[in-house]
A and B are shown apart, each in its own frame.
Chain A
Amino acid sequence: MGRKKKKQLKPWCWYCNRDFDDEKILIQHQKAKHFKCHICHKKLYTGPGLAIHCMQVHKDTIDGVPNAIPGRTDIELEIYGMEGIPEKDIQDRRRVLEQKSQESQKRKQNQDDSDEDDDDDEDEAGPSSFQQPTAQPQAAYMAPMTQTGIHLGPQAQGMPSAGYAGMPPMLTGVPPMIPGMPPVMPVMPPGMMPMRGMMPPGPAMPPMMPGMLPGMPHHVGRPGMPSMAPAAPVTVPGLASRPAVPITQSAASKPLFPSAVQAQQTVSGPSSTSSDSPKVTFPAYTQPPSTSSVVPASSSTVAKPPATVTSKPATLTTLSATSKLMHPDEDISLEERRAQLPRYQRLIPRPGQTAATAASAPPSGAVGGMMPPQQSGMRHPIHGQYGGPPQAMSGFMAVGMPPYGQNAPMVPSYQAGPVGPPMGIRPSVMSPGSRY
């Protein structure tokens, strides 16, 4: 306590690099994941302990610590919680953590610059929470082109801020351009280099870049998107190769894009970004392997799809190659999606619609003819204290038909019910069980 702490770092698992709040939890984790016998599931205390157990009890040898990352599988190192970790690794870890926090700070600053220009409608605390996850996937994507990618990132972000002010319209046009990505992606590595050269001069670049980059950290689905959609296909061919890089950037810094691309690929046809896009199936999504192949390392990285997009709902990212989200692609709720099905759309009363449509749904199909069977037949069961209502109900026949407003006069006669005048706009009649 009085001396300098050897490890100021939060407890972390040497075998798999995961962080923990508490050493106790760390030890539980190690026992369950790394020191557990694969044959009898007995939890040992250390790596060597596990090795000895397997040998003595099962006459089996093990090569390395289970579930450990490559390089950390040494079965002979006696590590328990944070004890026994080689000094070198502790320092490595400290350095890595510092780097990460620096990088995320730098990124945050860059983000902040473009943030100020980027007023828009989001106020969520998204950006900072995104930084870490985006840092990694970016690195992952850029694997073939590590340096270039990462350097390009900060640079590119500088640019957009400059060019952004004049670019708002393009901003919205950009995301739809992404559809070009998958075909282009494989081209990226060679494309990367030419891109660099192109960046400064590229006149078309600024429109894209600002759009891509500031847009990325925030949201893809700008409300303005649909309006820009028609423009998108036009611009794409013109910028065939260029989009590659900025899109790379976008893909890297915002894992949303790759899957969004695939999903949007089917939708990005010139006219399809209209209001019926939610109904479009996303074949790309339904094949998890192909989808996730484009999103290799984004294991559970953030997907923060924008919320209300009028006609084009945002799409979700897939988790990883081994996980499939059992949910339709668009980020609207299951009920909303279901409500868009024609068989339910028909039922939603629109102002001025006649009851014919409304009544067509119920199985009984008492179209318009609300009355006749009414009576007690209405409620199957035992209950029925009908009293006043049935009579009042027959009075209601007409009610269902005309637009609600007209029924106001009818309402008073219904007062038989417990309700008061403020009851309001619609005739309470609608309910009459004639429905079924």
Chain B
Amino acid sequence: MTGANEFKLAQGPEDSVSAVKFSPSSSQFLLVSSWDGSVRLYDASANSMRMKYQHLAPVLDCAFSDPTHAWSGGLDSQLKTHDLNTDQDTIVGTHDAPIRCVEFCPEVNVLVTGSWDQSVRLWDPRTPCNAGTFTQPEKVYTLSVAGDRLIVGTAGRRVLVWDLRNMGYVQQRRESSLKYQTRCIRAFPNKQGYVLSSIEGRVAVEYLDPSLEVQKKKYAFKCHRLKENGIEQVHPVNAISFHSVHNTFATGGSDGFVNIWDPFNKKRLCQFHRYPSSIASLSFSTDGSLLAIASSYMQELGDVSHPADAVFIRQVTDAETKPKST
């Protein structure tokens, strides 16, 4: 199924993959967190697993704070950081409920976690220690960093924008423009806005500037829907990742497809072949040359037998990711 420009990672996790993240400095290293409780570091160029560490329970998200430090959190509610040079890990702190998201903000140099305990916590990566707990209206399902701002997507379709330098109040309270549960939010690299996806095969492109003329530009579109025997199967769009250079983004859905979209011309640039399972996570490398695609069944239809979980690394070309200038 894979072509010459794509390969499957060896020694993959033993259960579904929850997140894949490329290192901020190189497209060589990739972090993969999984429901088997492990967080693994891979060398994508050599297709080998370099390091692995465990949590007590499934890990839901992972992130790099810098090329040598990995952070992860999951159902055990513990935030761990792992030093990739010394191969040591540390429990930095906890939430009161499972940690769902772990992201790093380079501009403010703070690590952010979001949890089902309805709070977002900031952590200083240097000490490392807790730098604040901030209550959200609902369980946090997804979050993304845009410059020095934090966009949090919670249950109940709420979206909150925080200023990481001033967390005393919420900068913007919004409601998702999609009518179904928010699945994933990712901010544009140009920090102008964010992309939000829902469980109902739909993606919205929104802007942060609250002024009316900018808000008018927002739009939404349907995607990841398959028509089979007259019934339209509407799949959750689980993953979004931006190409840092072109500001185009890829979406991955439970239909097993990855699409690349050009948000400015509102066109789809490319669709890859169908992957064996739902796409659980996507990550473009910092230089935009590789896309890590985690294909794992996510229990959308209950506990049924499903293809094995895998992470694919694909070389992407400009043709696939660059907006077409007509």
Q: Which residues of A contact B (CB under 8 A)?
A: 124-125, 281, 288, 300, 302-308, 316, 319, 322-328, 331-339, 341, 344, 347-349, 358, 361-363, 379-387, 389, 417-420, 422-428, 430-431, 433, 435-436
Contact = CB atoms under 8 A, between A and B. Distances in A.
B52 A332 contact: no
Contacts of B83: 417-418
B86 A328 contact: no
Interface string B1-44: 00000000001001000100000000000000001111000000
A327 B175 contact: no
A347 B90 contact: no
Contacts of B38: 435-436
A423 B181 CA distance: 35
Interface of B: 11, 14, 18, 35-38, 48-58, 60, 75-78, 80, 82-83, 85-94, 98, 100, 116, 118, 127-130, 138-139, 141, 154-158, 175, 179-181, 183, 199-200, 225, 230-236, 238, 254-255, 298-303
A303 B262 CA distance: 29
A417 B88 contact: yes
Given A307-B138, A324-B231, A383 B35 contact: no
Contacts of B60: 335
A335 B38 CA distance: 16
B75 A339 contact: yes
Contacts of B130: 424
Contact of B37 (A302, A334, A362): A362
A335 B184 CA distance: 12
Contact of A431 (B53, B94, B254): B53
Contacts of B91: 423-428, 430-431
Contact of A124 (B49, B158, B255): B158
B128 A419 contact: yes
Contact of B49 (A307, A338, A381): A381
Contacts, number: 211
- Top-7 shortest CB links A-B: A307-B156, A435-B54, A347-B57, A426-B91, A307-B155, A419-B90, A431-B89
Contacts of B37: 347, 361-362, 435
Contacts of B78: 426, 430
B175 A125 contact: yes
Given A125-B175, A348-B57, A431 B80 contact: yes
Given A124-B175, A361-B57, A424-B91, 10 more contacts: A307-B154, A333-B155, A344-B57, A347-B75, A348-B76, A381-B50, A383-B51, A385-B85, A417-B86, A428-B89
A430 to B, nearest CB: 6
Contacts of B57: 344, 347-349, 358, 361
A425 B79 CA distance: 11
A333 B183 contact: yes
Contact of B234 (A124, A319, A338, A433): A319
A406 B161 CA distance: 39
Interface of A (DSSP majority class): loop
Contact of A423 (B35, B58, B76, B90): B90
Contacts of A322: 230-232
A281 B230 CA distance: 25
B50 A347 contact: no
B141 A422 contact: no
Contacts of A382: 48, 50
30 contacts: A124-B157, A124-B175, A281-B302, A306-B156, A307-B156, A319-B232, A322-B230, A323-B225, A326-B233, A326-B301, A327-B200, A328-B302, A332-B155, A333-B139, A333-B141, A347-B37, A362-B54, A380-B52, A383-B51, A417-B83, A418-B88, A419-B128, A423-B128, A423-B129, A425-B93, A430-B55, A430-B56, A431-B91, A435-B38, A436-B54
A383 B50 contact: yes
B52 A379 contact: yes
A339 B88 contact: no
Contacts of A358: 56-57
A349 B82 CA distance: 20
Tell me which of A302, A305, A308, A337 has the highest count of chain B C-beta atoms within 10 A of its own C-beta. A308
A300 B201 CA distance: 12
Given A124-B156, A308-B156, A422-B127, A334 B236 contact: yes
B236 A326 contact: yes
A387 B141 CA distance: 38
Contact of B236 (A304, A327, A363, A386): A327
A420 B50 contact: no
Contacts of A428: 88-91
A419 B83 CA distance: 10
A102 to B, nearest CB: 24
B156 A348 contact: no
Nearest to A358: B56
Contacts of A124: 156-158, 175
Given A336-B116, A425-B91, A341 B303 contact: yes
A188 to B, nearest CB: 27
Nearest to B49: A381
A66 to B, nearest CB: 17
A305 B20 CA distance: 30
A344 B35 contact: yes
B49 A380 contact: yes
A304 B155 contact: no
Nearest to B235: A326
